[in-house]
């Protein structure tokens, strides 16, 4: 992968995160606040100077941080898991934990608890966490640790497992496995209804048992899902972004986790990517997708000029991959998506 990220020391990201943390992780009852993910992605790719301008365009989509209900504690957390009314309570819990212990210790304790429920918030929960981990790993300071607490709190409050899936035959490669994912029956509206309609998924990478192989296969999955957007993104240009960005959030978190958590992370990431693929698969792939003729830097500029949050996040993942088809996928998202106005 082409990990062309820059270490931002300008303070622009910290200022942007301080602005974002006055808002909640959702708006209109369920839609995710993408601002923390986007500003981190822009900073990671050398565009920290643009984060305030982008936030100014996005500010009408921010809602006040929700009210607190009752503290989450080490004794009662199981009762609060998956309760979206407890977003503020969960955020407070993780803020306390991160103030008392190293952030990697907190992450290692909670990752296996949260991993089965990464489908909550249309996978934005794990995606936000992946951005937060990359930020705090690059530079540990108060705004970035606060963002980690917000990301963990959002995931815990929106925790939503998926169970009871029937297994279809194994596929050899990630590309083959995604191609073998059966589309859900038509007529389902909304993420939660579509997710409930996912009944069968192919088995993939089930034979992986060692951490290094898990990381290799997860890298393969992110590449395949990103490439696939170029030809299949028109099925639902916004939602199909997550088939790539959700597993990439897991991938960019692996090196901060204990190695014995890598294999289950691979399996959870596959189920998430495959489920989103099933939920929004188009009837047929695009007949032709032009090759990317721009440099990675030019693709970032094209995404920033467009402004849509999902375009920027897919571009962030495409730059992790770094090859021509991944960049073509990013440009395809620009073509398919409505600009941020």
Q: What is the mean pLDDT of the chain?
A: 95
- The pairing of strands 166-168 and 31-32 is unpaired
Find all residues with CB under 8 Å of 142, minimum gap 6, and list them.
Answer: 14
Supply the pLDDT for residue 7. Answer: 57
pTM equals: 0.95
Instruction: Assess whether pLDDT exceeds 90 at residue 30.
Output: no
Supply the pLDDT for residue 3. Answer: 42
Q: How many CB atoms lie within 10 A of CB 175?
A: 16
How is residue 49 annotated by DSSP?
A: G
Q: Residues 285-292: what's their mean pLDDT?
A: 84
Continuous H helices in the chain = 12-20, 35-44, 51-58, 77-80, 87-100, 103-114, 124-138, 142-157, 174-179, 191-196, 211-232, 242-251, 262-280, 296-306, 309-321, 324-336
Instruction: Assess whether pLDDT exceeds 90 at residue 286.
Output: yes
Supply the pLDDT for residue 233. Answer: 97
Supply the pLDDT for residue 290. Answer: 81
């Amino acid at each position: 992968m082409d990990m062309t990220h820059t270490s931002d020391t300008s303070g622009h990201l910290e200022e942007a995160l301080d602005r974002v943390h006055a808002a909640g992780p959702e708006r209109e009852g369920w839609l995710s606040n993408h601002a923390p993910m986007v500003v981190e992605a822009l900073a990671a790719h050398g565009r920290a100077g643009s984060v305030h301008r982008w936030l100014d365009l996005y500010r009408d989509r921010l809602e006040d941080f929700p009210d607190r209900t009752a503290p989450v504690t080490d004794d009662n957390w199981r009762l609060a898991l998956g309760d979206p009314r407890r977003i503020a309570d969960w955020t407070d819990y993780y803020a306390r934990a991160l103030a008392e212990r190293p952030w990697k210790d907190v992450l290692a304790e909670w990752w296996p608890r949260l991993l089965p429920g990464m489908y909550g918030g249309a996978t934005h929960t794990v995606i936000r966490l992946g951005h937060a981990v990359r930020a705090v790993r690059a530079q540990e300071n108060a705004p970035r640790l606060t963002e980690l607490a917000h990301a963990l709190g959002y995931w815990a409050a929106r925790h939503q497992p998926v169970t009871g899936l029937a297994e279809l035959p194994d596929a050899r490669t990630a590309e083959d496995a995604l191609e073998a994912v059966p589309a859900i029956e038509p007529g389902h509206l909304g993420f939660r209804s579509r997710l409930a309609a996912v009944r069968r998924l192919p088995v993939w990478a089930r034979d992986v048992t060692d951490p290094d192989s898990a990381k290799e296969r997860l890298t393969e999955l992110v590449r395949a899902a990103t490439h696939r957007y170029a030809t299949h993104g028109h099925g639902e240009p916004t939602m199909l972004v997550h088939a790539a960005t959700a597993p990439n959030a897991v991938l960019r978190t692996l090196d901060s986790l204990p190695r014995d958590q890598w294999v289950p992370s691979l399996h959870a990431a596959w189920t998430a990517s495959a489920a989103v693929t099933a939920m929004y698969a188009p009837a047929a792939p695009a007949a032709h997708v032009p090759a990317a003729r721009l440099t990675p830097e030019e693709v970032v500029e094209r995404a920033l000029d467009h402004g849509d949050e999902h375009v920027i996040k897919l571009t962030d993942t495409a730059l992790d991959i770094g090859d021509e088809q991944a960049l073509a996928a990013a440009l395809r998202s620009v073509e398919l998506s409505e600009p941020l106005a």
